[in-house]
Amino acid sequence: MVRYFLVKGRVQGVGFRWFVHREAAELGLRGWVRNTDEGHVEVVASGDPEVLDELKSAIKKGSRGSRVDAVIEQELDESEDEKLGPFVIEGAW
């Protein structure tokens, strides 16, 4: 299963992408996380539904110093998985 999350709140400049990366990698998920120009964070993750639910719970909780106001979730087509590799932070050095 492949899911897209749009995370709104104070999620840029507080280590949120690194937090999501760590959580997703520990869960063995594939995909990516990146900032948006609007000040949000986008996540695309692929894995078992139960494991994706664990990631969603972690995202809702947020990292230390962050504030998650909303998580918008959308299921993507399974074919999107073919484009994904090990979980990475896009746009990081």
Spot the catalytic one: 3, 17, 64, 67: 17
10 assigned to active site: no
Spot the catalytic one: 10, 22, 30, 35: 35
Judge whether 43 and 32 are in contact, CB under 8 Å: yes
| CA atoms of 26 and 55, how far apart (whole Å) | 10
35 assigned to active site: yes
Question: Which residues participate in catalysis according to the annotation?
Answer: 17, 35
